[in-house]
Copies of this chain bind each other. A is one copy, B any other.
Amino acid sequence: MVGGGSDAFIGAIHRLAANMDGQIELVCGCFSSDPGISVSSGVSYYLPESRVYRSYQEMFEKESALAPGERMDFVTIVTPNHVHFEPAMMALERGFHVVIDKPVTFTLEEAITLRSKVRETGLVLALTHTYSGYPAVKEARERVRRGDLGEIRRIYVEYPQGWLSARVEEKGNAQASWRTDPKRSGKAGCMGDIGTHAFHLAEYISGLKATELCAELNTFVPGRLLDDDGAALLRFNNGARGVLMATQVAAGEENAVKIRIYGDKGGMEWAQMEPNTLWMKWTDKPVEMIRTGQGYMGPTAKHNTRTPAGHPEGYLEAFANIYRNFSLTVRARLNGKTPQNEWLDFPTIDDGVRGMLFIETVVQAGYDDTVKWVKFAG
């Protein structure tokens, strides 16, 4: 693991998710750019000091010198965005599979380079777009794919949060600090941090690709250096239209990811804060409440479910689904076997490039009052 020291947030989430299924063991790490924190963190995670490294360069070097059965099988990169590319490249070059947090890199160019490296090495890279890890989201995709909604016309995806309503980055909030800093976060603030999740969710469920967008980005909190809010109109490759709304200044909102998709035959709705329910809507018959854990769920949803209906699964289980599918895939590769299709269902470098393209495009469109539609370059 690179990053995720005792002072970090998302690293702990990664460890919880990776632990859950008993398939993955933390064996080494460089948990902080501060060597002291790295060591104390590693010890608190029950690692031997010999496997707690003072830099990720050291980690890759020493781990790759270990025997195949002893060295780590893959690395998880949970650092701020500006420290994604280099360790990821280094990992791939040393032959390690990679789990990496989103957005995949600091710039679109890095993402494209990384994609080449992944293709070149044939290694596995998983990107933690958690929300597509939920069973009900996977069920939604299956139902779109098999045509339940008919031709897709309309997508609304939204991601309101409120935690950046005030300038908390000035008050010691470490999470806010790097996310609002262009040097560590990248071109976009809100759109990079959560807009990419919303964008990924829309493309993942619908199976469509956005081709152009019209947007406005805003910075509501005085003094903040990146967008903390924005909205975009989207056009998809089949002619469908979308609205994407992301904000971190919706005071009082927690983490209200929600998506609605409508086709000519029906509609669907899913909200992350009640993640085990998928609503299917019809013009001529009752709305149906599709529930995780029920026998009528499709095989992909079932593969990604651990508990019976009514025993709610949550964010960590969705996160763990990425890790589990990734580890099943890596293990198959290590054993020279072909992974099952269901195991391959986790976000990859391709999704990472799409996300960076989204950031690029939405930033270009978001501040320019003279150009309405900006095409996706990819």
Q: Which residues of A approach B to under 8 Å, CB–CB?
A: 9, 12-13, 15-16, 19-22, 26, 45-46, 149-150, 153-154, 156, 158, 160-163, 165-166, 214, 216, 218, 220, 229, 231, 233, 241, 243, 245, 247, 249-256, 260, 262-267, 272-276, 280-291, 293-296, 306-317, 368-373
Pairwise interchain contact A267-B252, C-beta atoms closer than 8 A? yes
Residue in B233, B283, B311, B316 whose beta carbon sits within 8 Å of that of A165 in the complex: B283
Closest chain-B Cβ to A216's Cβ sits at a distance in Å of 5
Which residues of B sit under 8 angstroms from A286, Cβ to Cβ?
280, 288-291, 294, 296
Name the distance in Å between A155's Cβ and chain B's nearest Cβ: 11
Residue of B whose beta carbon sits closest to that of A244: B243
Nearest chain B residue, comparing its CB with the CB of A241: B218
**How far, in Å, is A304 (CB) from chain B's closest CB?**
14
Residues of B within 8 A of A310 (CB): 161, 253-256, 272-273
Beyond the given A153-B249, A314-B317, could you list 13 further A-B residue pairs with CB under 8 A, ordered by the A residue number? A16-B21, A154-B249, A161-B310, A162-B262, A166-B264, A243-B243, A252-B281, A256-B310, A285-B296, A286-B288, A286-B291, A312-B315, A369-B372
Q: Nearest 3 pairs between A and B by C-beta?
A: A252-B281, A254-B310, A255-B310
Q: What residues on B are CB-neighbors of A317 within 8 Å?
A: 314, 316
List residues of chain B with CB within 8 A of the CB of A231: 233, 241, 243
A243 to chain B, nearest CB (A): 5
What distance in Å separates the Cβ of A266 from its nearest Cβ neighbour in chain B? 5
Q: Tell me the number of copies of this protein.
A: 4
The complex places the Cα of A282 from the Cα of B9 at a distance, in Å, of: 23
Report Cα–Cα, A1/B262, bound state, in Å: 39
Q: Quick one: closest B residue to A12, CB to CB?
A: B306
Q: List 18 A-B contacts (CB under 8 A).
A: A22-B46, A154-B229, A160-B260, A162-B267, A162-B283, A214-B372, A229-B241, A231-B233, A231-B243, A250-B260, A251-B282, A251-B283, A255-B308, A280-B286, A284-B295, A288-B289, A307-B314, A368-B372
Q: Give, as a whole number of angstroms, the nearest-CB distance from A46 to chain B.
A: 7
Cβ–Cβ < 8 Å partners of A276 in chain B = 273
Q: Are A250 and B233 in contact (CB under 8 A)?
A: no
Give Cα A295 to B252, complex, Å.
Answer: 12
The CA of A296 and the CA of B286, in the complex, are separated in Å by 8
Interface contact B312-A273, CB-CB below 8 Å: yes
Bound CA span A293–B314, Å: 13
Whether the Cβ atoms of A154 and B260 lie closer than 8 Å is no
Q: How far is the CA of A154 from the CA of B316 in the complex (A)?
A: 31
Report the nearest B residue to A164, measured CB to CB.
B283
Q: Which residue of B lies closest to A18 (CB)?
A: B22
B373 touches A282 (CB 8 A): no
Q: In angstroms, how far is the closest chain B Cβ from the Cβ of A313?
A: 5
The answer to whether A264 touches B165 (Cβ under 8 A) is yes
Contact assessment for A153 and B220 in the assembled complex, using a CB-CB cutoff below 8 Å: yes
Give the docked Cα–Cα distance between A276 and B218 (Å): 31
Q: Which residues of B contact A243 (CB under 8 A)?
A: 231, 243, 245
Residues of B within 8 A of A287 (CB): 252, 288-289, 291
User: Contact: A311 with B255, CB < 8 Å?
Assistant: yes
Q: A275-B312, A294-B286 are in contact. Are A252 and B266 (CB under 8 A)?
A: yes
Central interface residue in A160, A254, A288, by most chain B CB within 10 Å:
A254
Which of B20, B22, B251, B264 is close to A316, meaning CB atoms less than 8 Å apart? B20
Chain B contacts for A255, CB-based, 8 A: 308-311
Q: How far is the CA of A290 from the CA of B254 in the complex (A)?
A: 12
Q: Which residues of B contact A256 (CB under 8 A)?
A: 310
